[in-house]
Amino acid sequence: MSSLRFKVVDEAFNRKADPVQIPSERPEKYYGRQVFNRQKMFEYLPADTFEALTSAIDNKQPLPRNVADSVAEGMKRWAIENGARHYTHWFQPLTETTAEKHDGFVEHDGKGGVVENFNGKLLVQQEPDASSFPNGGIRNTFEARGYSAWDISSPAFLLDNTLCIPTIFISYTGDSLDYKTPLLRALNSVDRAATAIARLFDPQVSHVTSYLGWEQEYFLVDEALYSARPDLMLTGRTLMGHESAKNQQLDDHYFGAIPSRVEAFMLDLEIECHKLGIPAKTRHNEVAPNQFELAPIFEETNLANDHNLLLMSIMGEVARRHHFRVLLHEKPFAGINGSGKHNNWSLGTDRGVLLFAPGKTAKDNLQFITFVVNVMAAVHRHNALLKASISSATNAHRLGANEAPPAIISIFTGSQLADILHRIESTSNSELTDLASKEGLQLNVSQIPEIMLDNTDRNRTSPFAFTGNRFEFRAVGSSANCASAMIALNAAVAEQLTEFKAAVDARIAQGETLRNALLEEIRRLIRSSRPIHFDGNGYSEEWKAEAAERGLDCETSVPRIFDAYLRPSSIEMFRSTGVMSEVELAARNEVKWEMYTKKVQIEARVLGDLALNHVLPVAIRYQSILLDNVAKIRNIFNSEKADSLSQGEIETIQQISTHCKAIKESVEQMVEARRQANHIPSEREKAIAYHDTVVPRMDTIRYHIDKLELMVDNEMWPLPKYRELLFIR
């Protein structure tokens, strides 16, 4: 009997919700309490310093160095008054997590004691050791110097007793070693390009801002069960496990009543979010058992990304207070939905206009169509790159399975927008009528008022869907740094808008009116980007064949998908927009290939250990019990009767032998495949070898283990099963 398993299962099922320390104030009273936001800046900074800092933030300009000392003094005073003892530059290395090195405020006072000091130099720049972070060969191991530099656009915050200062992270040579640096460059690039277009419609526009609203999906597992599953602890997903007889097929979990333990966790998490200025708004049960979602109000993309990374960090800490563990892996359980992080993305002017929202006038709607069509053209042109931006060893398990979008980038527009695009394409400029706005829908049901029809339905199978006033990039993985997708998307759109503006200017220079020049270029883009437009079922096999015929990238091997970053078109796009150099791109791809290899390698080692040291011994022990029982039957009954009575057990014994033999042989083959792959010097070729030779053997091992799980005595099975992991109340 597996006493540990039954003990932890019993503990999990009998655990009650822990009380939450609910603040006595309403959220608006404590929202942003741990953030050095504008209210705190106004309170703790001299008036001229406050004006200089906010002006630099609003106008996207560098902060004068002589202002930094004054900012640092006010920031330190606020932090210390709120219990801070240390400060750190909080940055985003290429590990897809965050990093921090804490320093105390204390300095020698020259009299044998200490004083608490924090000046502009310490605020603006630090030198964390860069030697142990992924760099993709961008520098030698012995060249350890790296620099972190303050990002003034993202406010500092307090986490426990530490003042955290969001920063970029670059090498000694100035090359980016993080996600924030190229993200800021991409946002500046799309600002410049989109502003130039927006001024054709409103000359008063000064800036265009990229907005992001992420939807964070996650699983919760009781910590006792988590600790009894080495695969969950070490890889974030179950490497084996037969699906439960009941999982999500009844659709009874989606939007269902939130279990009390989970609701207590969610409330605690929301309170922590609001204190840190994260505008958490929506929470609900997701489709799969024990799967949930949190979504905030939209924010500027850089800040939204920082908040998502901060959320993923504090989720784990809050979950442990409630005896849960958070699983952010894209596919922690086979046979049910995986977790994504849908990136709802839009652009808006500083004049309050959302550029992807239909307007009330012909001029507004022409602007709307201009920007939507340019996005479609950019996504079509760089569909392989956008797929690469969301690909990883973990997200590969999710894409195309259980309602996740397929590994083919296409755009869903909905019937109304599709009709408008068709009319523009096929109608002369003089005959075009205004774009239809939202229509009223009278339900004729008592007590239900008229509602407004959105300009599009939703399509869950589309990886990139237009959803009324924004685009939803649904293919992003739940554990990913949103910046990866946002860098590629904003840079691609910036390149497209720049070229569009040049083409329109050229037509105007030849005597065309602005309206006709815009419509002719829009019409050209609609035609050229037609292959990316698909409103059908992305799960169908027919779509895969059709997508290939359309020329869309249909590669499914993650290491090969990464090649899109180094295509000439991608290199030129990133270069022309000033987002990344070819050296930086090459380095990032080396990191991506290396990370893919290491994640698969860890999974393979864990699976091999579990197979040989947990599963096989139990299966053989159970087989021995069956053999002993067969022998006893033969001792009591005659051979004919014994054969009849023991036939079922003998078949089970034979099946166990077959599966055990297959597991042992497959583990040996997997180990040999790893050994051979590890000798490959090229990170790309090594990653491909792991994908082609190691992963298939892992799938084979899992198949045979899952078969054994159904045969071996339930009391002997050593690991918590899906029915125990997924239905905690």
How far lies 145's CA from each of 140, 164, 585, in Å?
Answer: 10, 21, 20
Average pLDDT, the chain: 90
Spatial separation of the C-alpha atoms in residues 199 and 205, rounded to whole Å: 6
Give backbone dihedrals phi and psi of 461, rounded to 5 degrees, phi first: -90, -5
The pLDDT assigned to 402 comes to: 62
First-to-final CA distance of the chain: 25
Give residue 480's Cα distance to chain centre: 3
pLDDT digits (tens, 9 = 90+) for 124-164: 998 776 667 777 777 655 556 678 999 999 999 999 999 99
The pLDDT assigned to 593 comes to: 97
Selection from 116-120, 538-542, 640-644 with the highest mean pLDDT: 116-120
pLDDT digits (tens, 9 = 90+) for 356-414: 998 878 888 899 999 999 999 999 999 999 999 999 999 999 987 766 788 899 999 98
Spatial separation of the C-alpha atoms in residues 648 and 644, rounded to whole Å: 8
Spatial separation of the C-alpha atoms in residues 298 and 312, rounded to whole Å: 17
| 173-200: average pLDDT | 95
290 closest CA partner among 184, 364, 219: 219
Q: Tell me the torsion sign for CA atoms 676, 682, 685, 690.
A: positive
More confident residue, 192 or 638: 192
Structure tokens at 58: 């609003």
Give backbone dihedrals phi and psi of 687, rounded to 5 degrees, phi first: -60, -40
What count of residues does the chain have?
A: 729
DSSP string, 534-563: --S-TTSHHHHHHHHHHT------HHHHGG
| 527-540: average pLDDT | 92
Beta strand 162-171 with 86-90 is parallel
pLDDT digits (tens, 9 = 90+) for 406-431: 889 999 998 888 888 888 888 877 66
391 closest CA partner among 522, 565, 530: 565
Spatial separation of the C-alpha atoms in residues 593 and 489, rounded to whole Å: 21
| 107-131: average pLDDT | 85
Between 114-118, 225-229, 270-274, the lowest mean confidence (pLDDT) is in 114-118
724 closest CA partner among 115, 258, 229: 229
pLDDT digits (tens, 9 = 90+) for 284-321: 999 999 999 999 999 999 999 999 999 999 999 999 99
The pLDDT assigned to 399 comes to: 87
Compute and round to an integer the Cα radius of gyration of the chain.
Answer: 29
How far lies 264's CA from each of 18, 273, 549, in Å?
Answer: 7, 14, 51
Q: Tell me the torsion sign for CA atoms 577, 578, 583, 585.
A: negative
Confidence of residue 607 (pLDDT cuts 50, 70, 90): very high
Spatial separation of the C-alpha atoms in residues 255 and 268, rounded to whole Å: 20
The pLDDT assigned to 420 comes to: 86
| pLDDT of residue 12 exceeding 60 | yes
Confidence of residue 54 (pLDDT cuts 50, 70, 90): very high
Selection from 113-122, 238-247, 695-704 with the highest mean pLDDT: 695-704
Spatial separation of the C-alpha atoms in residues 484 and 134, rounded to whole Å: 15
% residues pLDDT > 70 (the chain): 93
Q: What is the pTM of this model?
A: 0.93
The pLDDT assigned to 431 comes to: 67
Give backbone dihedrals phi and psi of 225, rounded to 5 degrees, phi first: -70, -40
**Position 621: which residue type?**
R
Using a 10 angstrom Cβ sphere, with 0-12 exposed, 13-18 middle and 19 or more buried, the burial of residue 601 is middle
Structure tokens at 284: 């609900």
Using a 10 angstrom Cβ sphere, with 0-12 exposed, 13-18 middle and 19 or more buried, the burial of residue 113 is exposed
Selection from 109-123, 168-182, 573-587 with the highest mean pLDDT: 573-587
Phi-psi region of 468 (alpha: psi -120 to 50; beta: other; left: phi over 0): left
Q: Which residues face 158 on adjacent strands?
A: 163
355 closest CA partner among 342, 379, 374, 341: 374
| pLDDT of residue 76 exceeding 70 | yes
Phi-psi region of 200 (alpha: psi -120 to 50; beta: other; left: phi over 0): alpha
**Position 289: which residue type?**
P
Residue pair 410/464 in contact by the 8 Å Cβ criterion: yes
